[in-house]
Structure formats: C-alpha cells, structure tokens
C-alpha cells in the first residue's frame, strides 16, 4: 500500500499484560556511554525481570570487553530473544502501525508513528539519492558488534527515529487528533524508568487512517522531489548506526541468496527473499517540524589532554577570541546564544569560551580539527546532555567541549546538497529524552 514511500505496515511484538512495562522498557544503547552508575541502576531496576535490557548491548561495555566477552554477551542476547519468543512474553499486534506520544521531563510532548521502512530505499553514503538518507557520518568501529547481534537475531528492538520533512504538520499530528477525537484505547501507557517521562501508544490500523497517511505521504513525496525526480522524505534522526547495521545485514543476506552487486555498489534482491523480514526495519517516524522535537548538540570529551593546549590548537585552526568565564552558567549562556562559540571545561572549574569566526555549522568546523588533534594517546567520546559533559570534565586530564545549538530549519537542504553531517552532530532532546526500547519485530 505504501511501497512508493518506502513504508510497510508491520507486525509488531509487544510484551503481554503480565510484563511490567516500566522495567521492560530501557533507554537506547548509545546513551550514557561514560556513566557506569546509570547502567548499574538500570541493571538493579530490571534484575530478575523480563526486560529489553536483556536484548541489547549497551555501548558503555564495548571498550571494556575483550572480543571473547563481546561474543559471549551477544550469544546471551540471542538466547534471551529465543527464550522470550518461546515462553510467550510477546503479544503479536498484526498489520498495525502505532501512534506514540512521549511526554518528557522537560514539558515536551513528542509525537511519532511506529512502522517499517524498506531498506532498499535507504543508503547512508554521501552520494545517496534515496528516499531515506543518513544525517551523520557513520563511526565504523561501532558497527561490528551490532552486525553480530542482528545477523543471527530472531527479533529486533529498535531505537531508530526518522525525521519526516512535513512542514505542514499534517501526517502524524492529524493521526493523533483522530485517535483522541474517537477516544481510541491505548495499547500501552506507562511511566519510563529513571525519571524519563511517560509513553503512550495507540493502534493505527483503520482504513480511514491509512487513507490519510497515503494522501499526506503523496504530498510530501511531491514536495521534496529534486530536479532528477528523487524525493528526499526521511532523514535518520537517531539510530544512524542501527539502521546502517540493518542495511549491512540485509546486503549480506541478499548476497548469500544470489544477489548481484552493481557498479553503484547496490545489490539486487533475489526473488525468493524479496519479502523477507530482514528487508525492513522497525522505526519511529517523527516530524522534523514538531515544536516539541528539540535538537540538541552532541558534545565532545577528549581524554588525556591539556585544556590550554587544546584551546590554542583549535584557535590556530579556526581563529577567533579566547574568553575565560567565571562560572558554569556564564559559559553555557555564551555557547547557547551563539552559532560559532565553543565551550571548553576541565577540572577545578576551568571554563574557557572560544568565540570563533566560522560561518558554517559549528560541528562541521570543529570535528576535523579534533580529529587532527587527537592521537593514539588521546581518546574522544560523544556525550548527550550538558550535565554529563560537565561531570566528565572533573576527571583527571579530561577536557569537555560544549557545542552550540543546531538549527533544524536547514537539515534536509544541507544533507541534500553536501551529504551527511560529521559523525555525532546532534541528538533529539537531552539524554533522558532519547527513545526507549519497547516494541519488537520478528526477523526469523
């Protein structure tokens, strides 16, 4: 019904009524990557419970585990997935999308639509002209563990969020209006752990809603065509690496069954697997222009570095003025009220602002400079949330870097013209507003 727009109505697995949803649903695996205390608390909360935590590989462990430990952890994930399927943990919600409302602790109400997308219409490469494109460069070292999980996983549980280029605010918003007007009963409604807000979901399976979705998708498809007829409808807002993983595994599977590579590196779809579940990925679609969809910069932290050396190096590349701030609030305000200021923080309340002369997106300018600065003696990480960024700066020889806000108005046009932004450029909301694992879908 929606093939033209790279969408397929899914069969969705949801925990049955005996499962505690508050302990089932956990935050995306790429959050709190330096906060061991957060993940310890999650482990305690979910201890002896049926939980999505048992189906994922939190990235905080990636750099601490040996290769053998990683493989053992992945095998455990696969066993847990099979166990949950075999013991009736899930109810099968057939032929239905889900409309979602996520209330956060910041008085935001984010709206979304859970559905499947066709990976044949997704390409993460800079040259992509597909309907679904990456927003950011892929960090290749974060892919292998995810590929190992998905390659043999009987189910998927995603945290992928696609941005919809709908400046008329009609497709998703009017689904919500319809469901509320008709007093449709939700299929889940619960609070999320660790003070992360509340989530409610309603089934979307009526002909009237499907007709509305098809009509609006056609409008968006036409409005976003380029001169060659390619329509850029969706950009990957969160979960770039997860979707790239799904694509990589699908490409492997096509080759296994006789798919042929072409000059543009695409692989043909063998007839006998053209409808295989691996061809699709479960995602949440959110409207870029939703007023409660808040873009947050992803900050950086450099380990084993000296703050003055780093600031002087960045200034030598980007020019600009160095300003020493007296307080944390002063630094935050200077960075947040600009498009070209960077905040540097280190131990003992050392706050420095570099007011640069750049005119491009701040992350586009600074990431190549940081790549040049770091060596085998340094390590960089990407941090969601202002508070965690300041906390990490308290470590010995760590320098945190605050990035200014990113305007979402030019996201699609920038990607269409220049390709993906630098890796880890932005996130949707603060760390505790990120998508939680909840829905699953059968792959094998």
Range of the domain at 387: 298-405
Residue 419 lies in a domain: no
- The per-residue pLDDT for 279 is 99
Task: Give the C-alpha separation, 101 to 188, whole Å.
Answer: 11
Structure tokens at 241: 């690496």
Residue 256 lies in a domain: yes
Residue 424 lies in a domain: no
Average pLDDT over residues 103-116: 95
Measured from the Cβ of residue 249, the count of other Cβ atoms closer than 10 Å reads 23
Average pLDDT over residues 359-376: 88
Residues 38 and 128 in one domain: yes
Structure tokens at 361: 């997106």
Average pLDDT over residues 80-88: 98
Report the predicted TM-score, pTM, of the whole model to 2 decimal places.
Answer: 0.84
- The per-residue pLDDT for 295 is 84
Residue 416 lies in a domain: no
Task: Give the C-alpha separation, 257 to 283, whole Å.
Answer: 26
Query: Is the model's pLDDT at 74 over the cut of 80?
Result: yes
Residues in the chain: 444
Task: Give the C-alpha separation, 283 to 162, whole Å.
Answer: 7
Q: Would you list the DSSP string of 227-250?
A: TTS-B--EEEEE-HHHHHHHHHHH
With 0-12 / 13-18 / 19 or more C-beta atoms within 10 angstroms meaning exposed / middle / buried, residue 335 is buried
What number of CA atoms fall less than 13 Å from residue 365's CA on the CB side?
23
Q: Find out whether 301 and 34 touch, Cβ atoms under 8 Å.
A: yes
Residues 435 and 306 in one domain: no
Query: Is the model's pLDDT at 156 over the cut of 90?
Result: yes
- The per-residue pLDDT for 371 is 93
- The per-residue pLDDT for 32 is 93
Longest CA pairwise span in the chain (Å): 66
Beta partners for residue 303, in sequence order? 379, 398
Task: Give the C-alpha separation, 399 to 303, whole Å.
Answer: 6
Residues 235 and 304 in one domain: no
- The per-residue pLDDT for 376 is 67
Task: Give the C-alpha separation, 434 to 30, whole Å.
Answer: 10
Average pLDDT over residues 407-429: 82
Residue 414's pLDDT band (cuts 50, 70, 90): confident
Residues 199 and 326 in one domain: no
Q: Find out whether 122 and 132 touch, Cβ atoms under 8 Å.
A: yes
Residues 221 and 344 in one domain: no
Residues 138 and 278 in one domain: yes
278-320 pLDDT, tens digit each: 999 999 999 999 999 988 889 999 999 999 999 999 999 999 9
Return the CATH number at 371. Answer: 3.30.1760
Residues 19 and 142 in one domain: yes
Kindly report the backbone phi and psi dihedral angles of residue 343, in degrees, each rounded to the nearest multiple of 5, phi listed first.
-105, 130
Residue 19 lies in a domain: yes
Structure tokens at 148: 């190992």
Q: Find out whether 101 and 110 touch, Cβ atoms under 8 Å.
A: yes
Residues 32 and 67 in one domain: yes
Average pLDDT over residues 2-21: 98
- CA dihedral 43→47→51→53, nearest 10 degrees, is 20
Residue listed under structure tokens 């020889």: 397
Query: Is the model's pLDDT at 121 over the cut of 70?
Result: yes
Residues 309 and 196 in one domain: no
Residue 144's pLDDT band (cuts 50, 70, 90): confident
Residues 337 and 378 in one domain: yes
- The per-residue pLDDT for 406 is 83
Q: Calculate the average pLDDT of the chain.
A: 94
Residue 8 lies in a domain: yes
Residues 180 and 274 in one domain: yes
- The per-residue pLDDT for 145 is 82
337-354 pLDDT, tens digit each: 998 999 999 998 899 999
Task: Give the C-alpha separation, 262 to 200, whole Å.
Answer: 44
Q: Which of 147, 143, 165 is nearest to 156 (CA)?
A: 147
Strands 280-287 and 161-164, bridge-based pairing: parallel
Residue 420 lies in a domain: no
* CA 158 vs CA 52, 58, 239: distances in Å: 10, 13, 8
Task: Give the C-alpha separation, 135 to 137, whole Å.
Answer: 7
Q: How many domains does the chain have?
A: 2
Residues 368 and 396 in one domain: yes
Residue 164 lies in a domain: yes
Q: Would you list the DSSP string of 378-439?
A: -EEEEE-SHHHHHHHTTSTTEEEEE-----STTHHHHHHHH-SBSSS-EEES-GGGSPEE--
Structure tokens at 386: 């202002």
- CA dihedral 186→187→190→192, nearest 10 degrees, is -120
Task: Give the C-alpha separation, 142 to 30, whole Å.
Answer: 10
- The per-residue pLDDT for 413 is 83
Query: Lowest mean pLDDT: which of 52-56, 172-176, 226-230, 271-275?
Result: 226-230
């Amino acid at each position: 019904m929606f093939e033209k727009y790279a969408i397929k109505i899914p069969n969705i697995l949801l925990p049955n009524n005996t499962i505690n949803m508050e302990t089932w649903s956990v935050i995306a695996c790429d959050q709190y990557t330096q906060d061991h205390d957060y993940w310890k608390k999650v482990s305690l909360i979910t201890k002896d419970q049926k939980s999505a935590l048992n189906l994922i590989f939190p990235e905080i462990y990636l750099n601490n585990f040996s290769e053998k430990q990683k493989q053992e952890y992945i095998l455990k994930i696969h066993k847990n997935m099979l166990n949950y399927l075999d013991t009736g943990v899930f109810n099968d919600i057939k032929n239905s999308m889900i409309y979602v409302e996520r209330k956060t602790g910041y008085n935001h109400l984010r709206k979304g639509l859970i559905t499947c997308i066709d990976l044949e219409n997704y390409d993460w490469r800079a040259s992509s002209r597909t309907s679904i494109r990456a927003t950011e460069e892929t960090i290749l070292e974060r892919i292998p563990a995810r590929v190992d999980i998905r390659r043999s996983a009987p189910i998927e549980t995603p945290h992928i969020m696609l941005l919809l280029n709908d400046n008329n605010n009609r497709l998703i918003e009017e689904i919500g209006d319809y469901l509320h007007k008709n007093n449709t009963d939700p299929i889940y409604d619960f609070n999320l752990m660790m003070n992360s807000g509340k989530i409610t979901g309603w089934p979307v399976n009526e002909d009237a809603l499907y007709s509305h979705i098809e009509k609006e998708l056609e409008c968006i498809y036409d409005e976003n065509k380029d001169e060659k007829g390619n329509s850029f409808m969706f950009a990957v807002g969160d979960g770039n690496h997860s979707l790239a993983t799904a694509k990589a595994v699908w490409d492997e599977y096509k080759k296994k069954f006789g798919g042929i590579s072409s000059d543009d590196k695409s692989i043909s779809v063998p007839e006998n697997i053209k409808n295989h579940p691996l061809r699709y990925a479960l995602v949440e679609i959110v409207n870029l222009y939703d007023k409660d969809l808040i873009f947050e910069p992803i900050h950086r932290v450099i380990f084993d570095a000296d703050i003055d050396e780093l600031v002087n190096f960045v200034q030598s590349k980007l020019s600009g003025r160095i300003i020493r701030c007296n307080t944390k609030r002063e630094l935050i305000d200077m960075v947040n009220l600009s498009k070209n200021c960077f905040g540097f923080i280190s131990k003992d309340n050392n706050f420095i602002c570099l007011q640069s002369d750049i005119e491009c997106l701040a992350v586009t300018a600074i990431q190549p400079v940081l790549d040049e600065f770091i060596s085998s003696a340094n390590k960089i990480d990407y941090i969601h949330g202002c508070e965690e960024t300041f906390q990490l700066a308290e470590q010995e020889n760590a320098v945190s870097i605050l990035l200014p806000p990113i305007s979402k108005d030019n996201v699609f046009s920038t990607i269409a013209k220049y390709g993906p932004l630098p890796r880890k450029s932005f996130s949707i909301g603060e760390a505790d507003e990120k998508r939680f694992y909840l829905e699953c879908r059968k792959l094998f």
